[in-house]
């Protein structure tokens, strides 16, 4: 175990030179910001490096610098936004490239000295409980971690890398995994990388970690880690049940049989046409794909809609009595929802159970609807209920999807894209999807 | 309505000549029995005509005479049986044909003067609550009906014929419908044929009729009619929920639109090969038939086993994930269980859901069984549970049935017959079943 940890750290821990260079670039940027704010006469504005770069928990080769421009809390929102942007734009003049982003406030992102730099304006408040916007909390996180983690930065590096390798790192809505801040808190809480894994092996949903015992609210999430800087916030709110469980599973596996490769996710090789056909043939199921153009929105907007799409389409199929073995999603230039069905076709006849015979009003209405109906196959009584055999609306899942997907609850941007056009492919037609990333996804999923 | 009733009664009510002839034959038989018992010196033995023939509620053309030979209640069981049989055998010398049957006591059945005569020995007891064998109750039924029905015999005739026509008459285990005694009690309770139908239109399961308000026990049957001669007996115990509901349904239909044809069941014409193929084609389902030699036992032994067979086979299919749309049974020289499936084949891959990841001992056992299993397609985590994709044991319902039907819980006689040999037919192979009765059954069922 110690050997493995050493070998991993050799790969992921920034060298002294890397560290020094980062500090140099960060200081240079902060100095420039301070000069600009001084020049325009902005009083009480401070700059601070936050995030993993500030805490010594960044993985070698990642080049992110988060610099916060902290305005006094009596600054108007308009002033904060316009001055924040204006500072950012002046710095950006010396950047390799840059653009403006809009979160709660607008901010400037740029390439500078080989780093991805975010220049984020925020309010400087007296405690995390008085924050005026979500980003105002970050400087307090920085403070807490620096005060409590010291000496265990390597454990955080190992935990982050292990989570990356097992696919559970990242709290963005595409991943629904663990945030960097959360890994730091876990190391502080349990003491070390191994102790986090040992604890996780025994985790159950509903677990509450409250490092300074000040939690002031109930949460329903699988894991609840009360933010030490804010008693009303669950740091693990973005973590899905399945990523929580995947981490439990990975922790047990690694402790049982320490396998270095778990730290590094390996992409499956893309399936060739012949391999994909073989795979479909072996399984014997019906594979169906809904393909549409990926809307031009950020991941945090797109992925919740993509999940919503899956959660609308599976019930649509099930309501029409198609049995869905599993559903999967992939997104590149096009986005694809895959559905694996027991069978894409169903017989024409369908059992339609009516009311119990003894509930007279309903029973008579049902009976009169089906008793002499030329479309109905039969009307019988089974277990006290009327049962009509009627023709099915859709005997082919492809036809069902072509007719009804656009009417599903899909989320704004996906709905727009789908209405502009989508195709439903099945079986061999899926070979038309040539994207290597998609073929690689299918290798893991199918 | 009055017209219809008159026309039906014209067909089913015995003429004066038929009545006189029945009385003559019954009296002749009873006189002979009395002579024999007198001759052998049996003291206190009485004979009595019971059943519908005695109550004026027999339908013209049915030729059943039930004559009870009633022994004093201090007679030993051996004496009752030996004298009962001996009397029966002597009478039988003058019968066209005869044989011996074994119910609670042995008794003689014969053809005599064109009638099917049962000569049943029983005990003469002081009240129905002191009966020594099940048949001892019958003379009390006779007494109660004669005392309470008088003048409404035609209503019983109409009700019996209506129940015959709608398939709910007969309390034997093949039919699970209404007994003759039950129809008489219903007419006594509600007052007339129409009033029974009007009441039945509003029936709900759990209905209790207790004509003399002496019920002494709770019953769970759909219809509970406390026997006026025995507070612990439900006269409708044999009535199934579906026959109960079929009668409700038929009553409403007839009252809404009095259709004389409802009094006479019409057999569906047998399906030709072409029609049967068309029918299967139109429905688009997979039809499977399990065929075995009907065991040589009476209906009341056979039919409960046949029902048990269906109730074993449907879950066997469902456990193996075949979707059964409906099951049907037909019995002649061979017996056949028909199963209509959404599809007789399934894909090789099957979802096998394991324990939640956080239930450690079970989770680890499941994981280690499937994680590196070359037969398993995959092991994933979904909604907190491990899910393994594994090959299906049976991908063809015919194969499943051929392998496992003989091991099902089938009842003694059917099990023996099935073990001696059975075949499973599917689709076009079912055309091999040529029996006209079976083809007629299929016309109604499929």
Q: What is the pLDDT of residues B136-179, one digit of tens each?
A: 999 999 999 999 998 999 999 999 999 999 999 999 999 999 99
* B204: closest chain A residue by CA: A358
Supply A91's token pair.
Answer: 């710095």
User: What is the distance in angstroms between the Cα of B434 and the nearest Cα belonging to chain A?
Assistant: 23
| Run means of pLDDT, 10 residues per run, chain A, 446 residues | 93 94 95 92 91 93 92 92 92 91 88 93 88 90 94 96 97 96 98 98 97 92 95 95 98 94 93 97 97 95 96 97 97 97 97 97 96 94 97 97 95 96 97 97 95
Q: Which residues of A touch B249 (CB under 8 A)?
A: 357, 363, 367, 381
Q: Which residues of A touch B283 (CB under 8 A)?
A: 347-349, 377
- Chain B, 357 to 386: residues with Cβ < 8 Å from chain A are 357-358, 360, 363-364, 367, 377, 381-384
Give the pLDDT score at B388: 97
Give the Cα separation of A409 and B76 in Å (integer).
Answer: 80
Residue with tokens 């108007």: A76
Give the pLDDT score at A353: 96
- % of chain B beyond a pLDDT of 70: 100
Record: contact B364-A203, CB cut-off 8 A: no
At the top level of CATH, the class of A151-266 is mainly alpha
DSSP letter, residue A28: H
Instruction: Indicate the CATH number for domain B151-263.
Output: 1.10.1410.30
Closest to A327 in 3D by CA, of A200, A223, A168, A445: A445
Give the Cα separation of A61 and A417 in Å (integer).
Answer: 37
* A250: closest chain B residue by CA: B357
Q: Which residues of A touch B351 (CB under 8 A)?
A: 325-326
- How many C-beta neighbours within 10 Å does residue A265 have? 11
- Mark the ranges of chain B whose per-residue pLDDT is less than 70: none
- Asked if B301 and B414 touch (Cβ cutoff 8 Å), the reply is no
* Residue among A197, A241, A314, A376 with most chain B CBs within 10 A, to mutate: A241
Question: Residues near B411 by Cβ (< 8 Å), separated by ≥ 6?
Answer: B304, B305, B306, B308, B309
Question: Residues near B225 by Cβ (< 8 Å), separated by ≥ 6?
Answer: B182, B185, B186, B189, B209, B210, B211, B234, B235, B236
Record: contact A347-B285, CB cut-off 8 A: yes
Q: Which residues of A touch B349 (CB under 8 A)?
A: 282-285, 325
DSSP letter, residue A251: H
List the single residue in B205, B284, B363 with the smallest CB-CB distance to A348.
B284
Record: contact B377-A283, CB cut-off 8 A: yes
**Chain A interface includes B280 (CB < 8 A):** no
The residue length of chain A stands at 446
Supply A398's token pair.
Answer: 């492809």
* A341: closest chain B residue by CA: B347
Give the pLDDT score at B347: 97
Q: Which residues of A touch B441 (CB under 8 A)?
A: none
Give the Cα separation of A33 and A139 in Å (integer).
Answer: 17
Residue A305 DSSP SS3: helix
Give the pLDDT score at A417: 97
Give the CA angle between residues A269, A272, A276 to the nearest 5°: 100
At the top level of CATH, the class of B6-134 is alpha beta
Q: How far is CA A424 from CA A275, A359, B109, in A?
A: 21, 43, 72
Question: Residues near B192 by Cβ (< 8 Å), separated by ≥ 6?
Answer: B152, B155
* B342: closest chain A residue by CA: A347
Supply A166's token pair.
Answer: 């097992």
Q: How far is CA A318 from CA A321, B3, B156, in A?
A: 5, 53, 50
DSSP letter, residue A224: E
At the top level of CATH, the class of A9-137 is alpha beta
Instruction: Indicate the CATH number for domain B273-345+395-445.
Output: 3.30.70.590
- How many C-beta neighbours within 10 Å does residue B178 have? 27
Residue with tokens 């007891």: B125
Residue with tokens 């040539």: A434
Annotated binding site of A for ATP: 52, 55, 141, 160, 169
Give the Cα separation of A121 and A45 in Å (integer).
Answer: 10
Record: contact B285-A252, CB cut-off 8 A: no
Q: Which residues of A touch B348 (CB under 8 A)?
A: 282-284
Sign, Cα dihedral of A315, A321, A324, A329: negative
Ligand-binding site membership of B11 (annotated): no
The residue length of chain B stands at 446
Q: How far is CA B339 from CA B135, B363, B427, B442, in A?
A: 39, 37, 11, 12
**Chain B interface includes A283 (CB < 8 A):** yes
Residue with tokens 């610099």: A67
- Burial zone of A375 (CB within 10 Å; 0-12 exposed, 13-18 middle, 19+ buried): exposed
Q: What would the pLDDT profile of B252-308 be if each residue is shown by its tens digit?
A: 999 999 999 999 988 899 999 999 999 999 999 999 999 999 999 999 999 999 999
Record: contact A283-B381, CB cut-off 8 A: no
**Chain B interface includes A285 (CB < 8 A):** yes
* A363: closest chain B residue by CA: B249
Supply B249's token pair.
Answer: 């349904």
Question: Residues near A266 by Cβ (< 8 Å), separated by ≥ 6?
Answer: none
- List chain B domain ranges: 6-134, 151-263, 273-345+395-445, 349-391
Q: Which residues of B touch A285 (CB under 8 A)?
A: 347, 349
Residue with tokens 């056992």: B365
Record: contact B381-A204, CB cut-off 8 A: no
* Residue among B206, B252, B284, B329 with most chain A CBs within 10 A, to mutate: B284
Helix (H), strand (E), coil (C) string for chain B: CHHHHHHHHHHHCCCHHHHHHHHHHHHHHHHHHHHHHHHCCCCCCEEEEEHHHHHCCCCCCCCEEEEEEEEECCCCHHHHHHHHHHHHHHHHCCCCEEEEEECCCEEEEEEECCEEEEEEEEEECCCHHHCCCHHHHHHHHHHHHHHHHCCCHHHHHHHHHHHHHCCCECCCCCCCCECHHHHHHHHHHHCCHHHHHHHHCCCCCCEEECCCCCCCCCCCCCEEEEECCEEEEECCCCCCHHHHHHHHHHHHHHHHCCCHHHHCCCCCCCCCHHHHHHHHHHHCCEEEEEEEECCCCCHHHHHHHHHHHHHHHHHHHHHCCCCEEEEEEEECCEEEEEEEECCCECCCEEEEEEEECCCHHHHHHHHHHHCCCCCCCEEEEECCEEEEEEECCCCEHHHHHHHHHHHCCCCHHHHHHHHHCEEEEEHHHHHHCCCHHHHHHHHHHC
Give the Cα separation of A151 and A141 in Å (integer).
Answer: 17
Ligand-binding site membership of B174 (annotated): no
Give the pLDDT score at B43: 85
| Paired strand residues for A138 | none
Residue A39 DSSP SS3: helix
Query: Which residues in B139-168 are b (16+ Cβ under 10 Å) and which e?
Result: bbbbbbbeebbeebbbbbbbbbbbbbbbeb
Give the Cα separation of A112 and B314 in Å (integer).
Answer: 70
Residue A113, by phi and psi: left (phi above 0), alpha (psi -120 to 50) or beta? left
Give the pLDDT score at A1: 83
User: What is the distance in angstroms between the Cα of B363 and the nearest Cα belonging to chain A?
Assistant: 9
Give the CA angle between residues A10, A12, A14 to the nearest 5°: 90
Residue A121 DSSP SS3: strand
* Residue among B197, B220, B241 with most chain A CBs within 10 A, to mutate: B241
The average confidence (pLDDT) of chain B is 95
Closest to B161 in 3D by CA, of B250, B288, B269: B250
């Amino acid at each position: 175990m110690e050997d493995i940890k050493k070998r991993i750290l050799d790969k992921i821990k920034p060298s002294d030179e890397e560290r020094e260079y980062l500090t140099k670039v960060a200081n240079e940027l902060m100095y420039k910001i301070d000069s600009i704010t001084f020049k325009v006469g902005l009083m009480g504005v401070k700059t601070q490096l936050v995030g993993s770069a500030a805490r010594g928990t960044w993985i070698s080769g990642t080049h992110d610098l988060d610099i916060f421009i902290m305005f006094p809390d009596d600054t108007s929102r308009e002033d904060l936004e316009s001055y924040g942007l204006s500072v950012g734009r002046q710095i950006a003049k010396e950047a390799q490239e840059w653009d403006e982003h809009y979160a709660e406030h607008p901010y400037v992102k740029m390439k500078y000295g080989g780093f991805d730099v975010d220049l984020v304006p925020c309010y400087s408040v007296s405690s995390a409980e008085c924050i005026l916007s979500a980003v105002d909390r970050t400087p307090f996180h920085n403070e807490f971690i620096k005060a409590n983690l010291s000496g265990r930065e390597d454990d955080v590096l190992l935990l982050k890398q292990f989570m990356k390798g097992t696919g559970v790192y990242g709290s963005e809505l595409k991943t629904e995994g663990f945030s960097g801040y959360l890994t730091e808190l876990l190391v502080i809480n349990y003491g070390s990388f191994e102790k986090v894994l040992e604890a996780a092996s025994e985790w159950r949903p509903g677990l509450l970690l409250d490092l300074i015992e000040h939690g002031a609210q109930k949460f329903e999430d699988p894991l609840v880690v009360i933010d030490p800087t804010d008693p009303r916030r669950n740091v693990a709110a973005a973590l899905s049940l399945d990523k929580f469980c995947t981490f439990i599973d990975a922790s047990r596996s690694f402790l049982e049989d320490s396998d270095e490769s778990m730290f590094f996710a390996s992409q499956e090789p893309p399936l060739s046409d012949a391999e994909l056909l073989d795979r479909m043939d072996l399984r014997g199921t019906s594979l169906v794909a809904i393909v549409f153009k990926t809307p031009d929105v950020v991941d945090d907007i797109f992925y919740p809609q993509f999940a919503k799409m899956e959660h609308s389409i599976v019930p649509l199929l099930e309501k029409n009595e198609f049995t869905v073995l599993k559903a999967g999603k992939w997104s590149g230039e096009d986005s694809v929802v895959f559905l694996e069905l027991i069978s894409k076709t169903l017989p024409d006849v369908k059992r339609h159970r009516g009311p119990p015979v003894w509930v007279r009003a309903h029973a008579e209405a049902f009976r009169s609807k089906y008793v002499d109906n030329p479309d109905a196959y039969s009307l019988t009584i089974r277990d006290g209920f009327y049962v009509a055999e009627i023709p099915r609306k859709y005997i082919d899942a492809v036809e069902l999807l072509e007719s009804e997907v656009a009417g599903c609850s899909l989320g704004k941007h996906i709905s727009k894209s789908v209405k502009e056009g989508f195709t439903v492919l099945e079986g061999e037609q899926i070979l038309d999807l040539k994207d290597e990333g998609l073929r690689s996804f299918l290798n893991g999923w199918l």
